Amino acid sequence: RPRQKAYAKRSRTGCRTCRVRRVKCDELPNACGNCTRTGRICDGYDVQRLPPRRVPGEGRGEAVARPAADSAFATIHAAIITKLQWKMTSDEGRCLSFFQHRSVPQLVGFFDSPLWQRLILQLCHADPAVYHAVVALGAVNQANEIAGRIPRPGERTILQNTQGLQNTWYRYAMEQSGRSIALVNKRRISRDPQLQQVILVCCILFITSELLCGNVTVANFHLRGGLRIIQTMNIRRRPLGLELSTGAVEECVMDSFLGFQQGSLYYGNEEVVRFDSEFIHEQPYENYLDHFHSLAHARQTWKPLEHTAFEFIAIGMKASDDELDAKYATLYLQQHRLISLVTKYLHQFEHFCRTAYGTTSFTMPITTKHQVRRKEYREAELTRISCLSVLLGVRTATYNKTGPPPDGHIAERWALLSAVETAMRNLGADCPTFTATSTMIPAMYMAAHSSPDYALPCHAIELLRSWRSEEGFMRSALSANLLEEFLKKDL
C-alpha cells in the first residue's frame, strides 16, 4: 500500500520556493528550514501577497478580468510555465495572465505594436528581470481596473498608505518592480549582448507602470535613464532607408522611447536623443515622400518627421520671446523646412488615402465589417490627424508670448477639432484606457493653444474632458486645465 503524505495546511506566507513546491513552510527567518535541509536555494519571502482569487466585492476590475479568469490562468500555466527557467508563484501567474489578456490589448492602442504584441512576451519567457517587470505592470493594470480609473498625478503615494483592495495590488507591483531592478543591477558588468535590450525593455515597462500609477515624475526618471543608454549606442538613421541601425536592440524598442520622449518634452524632460532631427535636417528626407505603397510604409515614413516636429514645437512653446529672437535665424530655417516636408507628406498621404480608402477626410464612418480593413481605416484617420496637428503646431510654435495672438489659422484650428470629433465618434468604445502613442490629446491642445478665437479653447476643453484615454505622458485632464488657465489669463 503506497504511503500517503500527511495532510498539512498550505501557508500563504511561506517562502517562494515552498509555495511553488506546494509544501508547508516553517517560515524561519532569512531562509526556511525546508529549503536549507534539502539543499535548495530559498528565494525568500514576499512582503506583499495578493488577496484570494475570489473575494466578495472585489470590484468592477476583477469582474472584468474574470470572463475567463480560470481558463486564462490555465492557459498561462500550459503555454508559459513550461518555457520558464524559473518557478512561478500563483500570484505572479495571476498578474501575468492579466497582462496577456487585458493589458496588452490596451497598450497596443491605436496602432499595431511588435513591442507589446511580440517582443515583451518573448523576453518575459527568457529573462527574469523582464518577467518581474511584466508582473508588476499586470498588477498595476489590475489595480486600476478595480479602482475604475488611472490615479491622478501624486495620488498613488496616498493610495499606498491607505487600506483597500486596489492598494494591495499597487504594493505588490512595487515589490515586483524592486525584484526586477535588483536582477538588472546584478548583471551590470555582464557582457551579455542582449543585456542592453533587456534593460531598455525593463525601462519601458517601468515607465508604463509609473504612468499608469499617475506618477509622471518617476516615469520621467526612468525615461531619462533609458535615453542616456541610447545616447551611448551611437544610433543613426540609415541614409538609404528608414530602418534603425540598432544592432542587438530591435527597432520597436527605439520607437517606443522616441514616442515617450515626444510627450515628455512638455513635462520637463531635457534628455533628448536627436538622431531623427539630424536625419530630417541633414539628409534628403524629401526623397522618401514621393510614393507610399502601403499604410505601414506611410506610417514608417512619418515617424522621424513627427518626432522632429514635436521637438521643434516643444522648443518653441517653452522659449521666451528673447530666446526666440536670439535663435530666430536657426528656428526660421527649421520651421520652413518642417512646414515644407509635412505639407508634402500630407499631400502624398491624402493621395494614398484617396486611392486606398476612397476618402481623405474620414467624415463618414466605415461600414465594412472586415476587421483588418476597419483597423487600417482607423490608423489612416489618426495618422492624418497627427499630420494636421503637427503642421499647425510648427506654424504657431514661434508665436510671440507676450503680445496678442495672431489672427491666422482659425479655419485650420476648427478643421483640426472637427477631425478629432469625427475620430472620437468613429472610435466609440474602441478607445483604450491608456496608450503609449500620443495623437488625440496633442491635436486638441494644438488646435486651442494661443487661439484668438476663445470659442476654440472652450470647445477643446470640453472634448478633452470627454476623452477617456491617457496617451503616454499626455494627460487629457491636465491639458484641459492648462487651456483653462491660459484662457483665464487672456480674459
For residues 135 and 149, what is the distance between their CA atoms, to the nearest angstrom? 19
Q: Give the position of cell 515614413.
A: 301
Grid cell in block for residue 386: 497627427
Domain residues for 25? 10-45
Q: Is residue 309 part of a domain?
A: yes
Q: Is residue 75 part of a domain?
A: no
| Domain shared by 445 and 311, yes or no | no
Q: Give the position of cell 542587438.
A: 248
Average pLDDT, the chain: 83
Name the pLDDT band for 322 (thresholds 50, 70, 90): very high
- Is the pLDDT assigned to residue 56 strictly greater than 80? no
- Is the pLDDT assigned to residue 99 strictly greater than 60? yes
| Domain shared by 141 and 168, yes or no | yes
For residues 491 and 468, what is the distance between their CA atoms, to the nearest angstrom? 29
Q: Is residue 68 part of a domain?
A: no
| Domain shared by 420 and 483, yes or no | yes
Out of 194-208, 218-232, 237-251, which region has the weakest mean confidence (pLDDT)? 237-251
Q: Regarding predicted confidence, which is higher, 361 or 386? A: 386
The residue among 354, 377, 395 that closes a domain is 395
For residues 9 and 49, what is the distance between their CA atoms, to the nearest angstrom? 17
Q: What is the pLDDT of residue 12?
A: 62
Tell me what the mean pLDDT of segment 230-247 comes to: 70
Find out whether 42 and 31 touch, Cβ atoms under 8 Å: yes
Find out whether 72 and 97 touch, Cβ atoms under 8 Å: yes
| Domain shared by 39 and 147, yes or no | no
Find out whether 282 and 233 touch, Cβ atoms under 8 Å: no
Find out whether 42 and 36 touch, Cβ atoms under 8 Å: yes
Name the pLDDT band for 66 (thresholds 50, 70, 90): very low
| Domain shared by 211 and 348, yes or no | no
Q: Give the position of cell 472584468.
A: 64
Q: Is residue 347 part of a domain?
A: yes
Out of 148-157, 249-258, 448-457, 471-480, which region has the weakest mean confidence (pLDDT)? 148-157
Report the predicted TM-score, pTM, of the whole model to 2 decimal places. Answer: 0.83
For residues 443 and 309, what is the distance between their CA atoms, to the nearest angstrom? 13
360 C-beta neighbours (distance < 10 Å), count: 15
Q: What is the pLDDT of residue 280?
A: 94
Domain CATH code at residue 24: 4.10.240
Find out whether 308 and 316 touch, Cβ atoms under 8 Å: no
Grid cell in block for residue 332: 526660421
Q: 474 pairs with which residues across the strands?
A: 471
| Domain shared by 470 and 374, yes or no | no
Number of domains present in the structure of the chain: 4
| Domain shared by 297 and 198, yes or no | no
**Helix, strand or coil, per DSSP, at residue 102:** helix
Residue 415 Cα distances to 160, 261, 353, 384, 411, angstroms: 44, 27, 18, 12, 6
Name the pLDDT band for 76 (thresholds 50, 70, 90): very low
Calculate what percentage of the chain has a pLDDT beyond 90: 43
Find out whether 200 and 257 touch, Cβ atoms under 8 Å: yes
| Domain shared by 314 and 387, yes or no | yes
The residue among 378, 395, 412 that closes a domain is 395
| Domain shared by 208 and 147, yes or no | yes
For residues 257 and 273, what is the distance between their CA atoms, to the nearest angstrom? 9
Q: Is residue 65 part of a domain?
A: no
The residue among 205, 239, 272 that closes a domain is 272
- Is the pLDDT assigned to residue 477 strictly greater than 50? yes
Q: Is residue 58 part of a domain?
A: no
Name the pLDDT band for 62 (thresholds 50, 70, 90): very low
Tell me what the mean pLDDT of segment 219-232 comes to: 92
HEC-encoded secondary structure of 147-187: HCCCCCCCHHHHHHCCCCHHHHHHHHHHHHHHHHHHHHHHC
- Classify residue 115 by its DSSP letter: I
Q: Give the position of cell 521666451.
A: 320
- Classify residue 237 by its DSSP letter: B
Q: Which amino acid is at 51?
A: P
Find out whether 288 and 243 touch, Cβ atoms under 8 Å: no
Q: Is residue 286 part of a domain?
A: no
Grid cell in block for residue 265: 518634452
Out of 5-9, 100-104, 222-226, 460-464, which region has the weakest mean confidence (pLDDT)? 5-9
25 C-beta neighbours (distance < 10 Å), count: 23
- The model's pLDDT over 19-42, given as tens digits with 9 standing for 90+, comes to 777 788 888 888 888 888 888 888
Q: Give the position of cell 515644407.
A: 340
Residue 342 C-alpha from the chain's centroid: 25
| Domain shared by 268 and 123, yes or no | yes
Q: What is the pLDDT of residue 4?
A: 60
263 C-beta neighbours (distance < 10 Å), count: 24
| Domain shared by 122 and 260, yes or no | yes
Q: Is residue 375 part of a domain?
A: yes
| Domain shared by 113 and 256, yes or no | yes
Out of 42-56, 80-94, 336-350, 372-386, which region has the weakest mean confidence (pLDDT)? 42-56
Find out whether 301 and 250 touch, Cβ atoms under 8 Å: no
Tell me what the mean pLDDT of segment 431-455 comes to: 90
Q: What is the pLDDT of residue 85?
A: 76
